[in-house]
Structure 1
Amino acid sequence: LNVFQRQEVWNVCCVVTRYFGGVLLGAGGLTRAYTKGAADALTAAGIARMGLWTLWDVPCTYPLLERMKLEVAATGGVVRDAEYGADITLRTAFPAGAAETFQLRLTELSAGSLTMTAAGEEFLPGPREEAN
């Protein structure tokens, strides 16, 4: 618990399993073993802060698909889903303020013919950060 409290990590569950049940380590050794296991798990997982993201439906033509994916990622967004038909509709998510930047790029790439529409908001984890 102290490992997570020191890193200000909340609402998590960590399970450390030991395959040797002996008492050779003693109480202090067991505490160090479990603490190291929790710290290693946190370091491997990293930390992502939850935040409010806006969801957008972005129309896209097939020739622009890969470029759109790159532009979404470059502005800090993620492509959550895609619907394929005569054209493509990408369901994207952007952190606060990034959707406006992407809208400008969408207008430039499509010469003003494509506009995205709001599809709601959702709490999502942000980019993964390394645990200290």
Structure 2
Amino acid sequence: MLTLSGPADAELLVRKSRFIARVQPVPGRAQAQAVVAGLRAEHPGATHVCWALLAGGQSAANDDGEPSGTAGRPMLEVLRRQDLEGVLATVVRYFGGIKLGAGGLVRAYTEAVAQALLHAHKVPLRPMVRLTVQAPYELEGLVRREATALGAELQQAAHAADVLLAFSAPQDVAQALRARLEEAGQGRLRWRVEG
């Protein structure tokens, strides 16, 4: 299973219609919808902003007003054929005045995403885990510094009698972080790991 290291773009002109494609790593539907909302704001004159997300149980496809099954689903199939996970494909279409028909639309959206993927750097997918640690206040700074240094991403922080910090990290990073903090915390940290 692969994902992308960063975004990649392509542009296609088909019978005067302009198709602007982007593929990028996105972990879930909420983030995908934020990206799509940003594209709508960035391209207010676009006729359609179609998208497909391949992200486990959060996968989705949206035709954004194109005839049903002519944009989102074909884009999703391109991602599936490439054995990708955690990837969002978007295509912004500016209508050129000539109707393409259902087959033409499927080909255009498929080709736009395929062209963007040609420019993308694919990397092996690293399984992510959620790591939650309960720490005394005096160890909060240490936990945050170590987590950031190893590349864990802070998801949540709650302050009560102790500090509860939740991080998202690749499985190997989570194991290394826990080992480093176990030693530094001298038994004063409590852990919960969710795969």
Q: TM-score band (shorter)?
A: 0.5 to 0.7
Q: 2:188 aligns with which of 108, 111, 114?
A: 114
Gaps of 5+ in 1: 123-132
Q: Is the 8 A contact 1:106 1:114 kept in 2?
A: no
**CA displacement, residues 60-97 of structure 1 (integer Å, 9 cap, x when unaligned):** 425x4343222113334332211113431212344334
1:67, 1:75 → 2: CA distance? Answer: 12
Q: Is the 8 A contact 1:51 1:95 kept in 2?
A: yes
Structure with the larger RCO, 1 or 2 (CA within 8 Å, 6+ apart): 1
Q: CA RMSD in A?
A: 4.4
Q: 1:79 aligns with which of 127, 144, 154?
A: 154
1:79, 1:10 → 2: CA distance? Answer: 22
Structure 1 position 36 matched with structure 2 position 94: no
1:16, 1:93 → 2: CA distance? Answer: 29
Greater alpha carbon shift after TM alignment, 35-44 vs 72-81? 35-44
From the superposition, tell whether residues 54 and 5 of structure 1 become closer, same or farther in structure 2 (CA, over 3 Å).
closer
- Structure of higher CA gyration radius: 1
Q: Larger % of strand: which?
A: 2
Q: Is the 8 A contact 1:16 1:34 kept in 2?
A: no
Provide TM-score, normalisation by structure 2.
0.41
Provide TM-score, normalisation by structure 1.
0.53
**SS of residue in 2 equivalent to 1:8:** coil
Residue identity opposite 2:135 in structure 1: P
Aligned length: 118
Taking only the aligned residue pairs, the percentage that are identical comes to: 26
From the superposition, tell whether residues 114 and 49 of structure 1 become closer, same or farther in structure 2 (CA, over 3 Å).
same
Gaps of 5+ in 2: 1-73
**SS of residue in 2 equivalent to 1:71:** helix
**SS of residue in 1 equivalent to 2:94:** coil
2:129, 2:173 → 1: CA distance? Answer: 9
